[in-house]
Amino acid sequence: MSFYPPHRTLMGPGPSDVYPQVSLALARPTIGHLDPEFIRLMDEIKQLLQYAFRTDNELTLPISAPGSAGMEACFVNLIEPNDTVIVCQNGVFGGRMKENVERIGATAIMVEDSWGTAIDLDKVQAAAKQHPNAKAIAFVHAETSTGVQSDAKAICHIARQYGMLSIVDTVTGLAGIPVDVDAWGADAVYSGTQKCLSCVPGLSPVTFSDHAREVISTRKTPVQSWFLDMNLVMGYWGAGRQRAYHHTAPVNTLYALHESLTVLRDEGLEASWARHQLNHQALKAGLEAMGLQLLVAESDRLPQLNTVCVPDGIDEALVRQQLLKEFSIEIGAGLGQLAGKVWRIGLMGYASRESNVRSCVQALESALSKQSFQFPNGAAMLAIDEVYRQAASTS
């Protein structure tokens, strides 16, 4: 029997709500992965990704698998056995980077910060000084597990200063907050399609600097993954009409990515960042008016992923279940050491809009009331009104 999914409002840590035009693009007729029309589409996707990442990097393309594979692509191509990598960890995904480094047979030097705070630049600097032979500094720009953003530009700068490569996870960052690959001087950056791009999950946009390309093409050992070997992937995604078959591209998902990037370019990157910021302000105002607290300090918050502290005595799983069952709204649970302690409310891409902010806050009011959580009646909506009113008056 066919599967008919329920209609959800996706306000967790991703996937986010998909743009309606992206769903339509998905369903268009499949063509061959070497069809001249498909090659043209690939060229356009590359250009659109260069726009989204703010880079002129020639090696900019979507990996044919989810963000975790994008992460792995960056590590297995740049790092060789016995290399040393400085890995910053302030959440789940820094830990996954460590796993990647170690499975290559390389050594990870960990720079640890508490979950919920940004990466401490002094610690990174100190680690670089102490391990001058490290090949790369790897860090998460936008930590999906905590809702924290770190200073990507500064960390990439430290890497350059010590002659190290930088590997940047911005799976949740791209299109939601400034990502500025060339200005950062970043060497390898990966993202996902199912966050602020509001495309379906399944692809991982990546970009490599010219220096990173050179490092890849002059490796001493073969890349341990055949599927993710950029030397081979480049032959398919490279310049020119003559593309070498490497693997069968996920044709329809690439239609969807193309469409979502077109939506992004039509809106404009700056406008997209501003929209994410505005809806975050409204959500925050509503939550605070209810007496709820955000985990992350204001300066380090990701506007697209709001980590909300679960009040004492509240059954957090029950709240999520009620939101899903009664309002068909998905919000996220805490992950790793934050499991049970926070909710993660995403306002990503198409999901970052006023009606979602309001519906989610009202649904939370309903669910928390049932657990006798006290809050001033109607205050949240008034606080939200105020944010949008002010934004309208200044624009």
Which residue positions form the known binding site for substrate? Answer: 344
Q: Select the residue interacting with its own copies from 135, 258, 275, 284 (CB under 8 A).
A: 258
Shorter beta-carbon distance to its own copies: residue 2 or 299: 2
**One symbol per residue from 274 to 313: x for binding its own copies (CB under 8 A), - otherwise; what is it?**
----------------------------------------
Examine residue 100 and tell whether it contacts its own copies (CB under 8 A).
Answer: yes
Please choose, from the candidates 155, 141, 134, the residue with its C-alpha nearest in 3D space to the C-alpha of residue 90: 141
Q: Does 29 bind its own copies (CB under 8 A)?
A: yes
Residue 23 exposure: Cα atoms within 13 Å on the Cβ side: 6
Cα atoms in the Cβ-side hemisphere of radius 13 Å centred on 14: 27
Does position 227 bind its own copies by CB under 8 A? yes
Contacting range for its own copies; rule: CB under 8 A; set: 64-72, 112-120, 174-182, 292-300: 64-72
Distances (CA, A) of 244 to 107, 187, 241, 247, 253: 34, 25, 10, 9, 20
102 near its own copies, judged by CB under 8 A:
yes
Of the candidates 305, 62, 362, 280, the residue with the CA atom closest to the CA atom of residue 192: 62
Which residue has tokens 């309606």?
20
Q: Which stretch binds its own copies (CB under 8 A): 17-25, 117-125, 268-276, 309-317?
A: 17-25
* Residue span binding its own copies (CB under 8 A) among the ranges 23-31, 283-291, 354-362, 371-379: 23-31
Q: Which stretch binds its own copies (CB under 8 A): 20-28, 53-61, 121-129, 378-386?
A: 20-28
Q: Which part of the chain contacts its own copies (CB under 8 A), choosing from 9-17, 177-185, 365-373, 379-387?
A: 9-17
Q: What is the dihedral of CA 320, 321, 323, 325, to 10 degrees?
A: 160
Shortest distance (Å) from residue 250 CB to its own copies: 3
Indicate whether 41 belongs to the interface with its own copies (CB under 8 A): yes
Among 185, 235, 250, 291, binds its own copies (CB under 8 A): 250
Which one of residues 111, 142, 148, 335 is an interface residue with its own copies (CB under 8 A)? 335
Q: What is 164-212 written as a DSSP string? A: -EEEEE-TTTTTTS---HHHHT-SEEE--SSSTT-PPSS-EEEEE-HHH
Nearest approach in angstroms of CB 242 to its own copies is 12
Among 161, 217, 248, 293, binds its own copies (CB under 8 A): 248
Among 202, 205, 286, 334, binds its own copies (CB under 8 A): 202
201 binds its own copies (CB under 8 A): yes
CA quadruple 114, 120, 125, 127: dihedral, nearest 10: 0
Nearer to its own copies, 162 or 346 (CB): 346
| Six-digit token string for 99 | 């796993």
Among 46, 135, 246, 344, binds its own copies (CB under 8 A): 246
- Asked if residues 194 and 16 have their Cβ atoms less than 8 Å apart, the reply is yes
Cβ closer to its own copies: 189 or 335? 335
192 binds its own copies (CB under 8 A): yes
Element housing 330 (H / E): strand 329-333
User: Exactly one of 44, 210, 214, 267 binds its own copies (CB under 8 A); which one?
Assistant: 44
Q: For its own copies, which residue of 43, 47, 103, 293 counts as binding (CB under 8 A)? A: 103
Residue 162: C-alpha distances to residues 95, 152, 296 (Å): 23, 16, 30
Rounded to the nearest angstrom, the gap between the alpha carbon of residue 55 and the centroid of all alpha carbons in its chain is: 17
Q: Which two tokens stand for residue 63?
A: 């990996």
CB 301 within 8 A of CB 149: yes
Q: Which two tokens stand for residue 56?
A: 């002129």
Residue 3 touching its own copies (CB under 8 A): yes
Q: Is 255 a binder of its own copies (CB under 8 A)? A: yes
In the bound state with its own copies, the residue whose beta carbon lies nearer, of 251 and 379, is 251
Residue 332: phi and psi, rounded to 5, are -100, 155
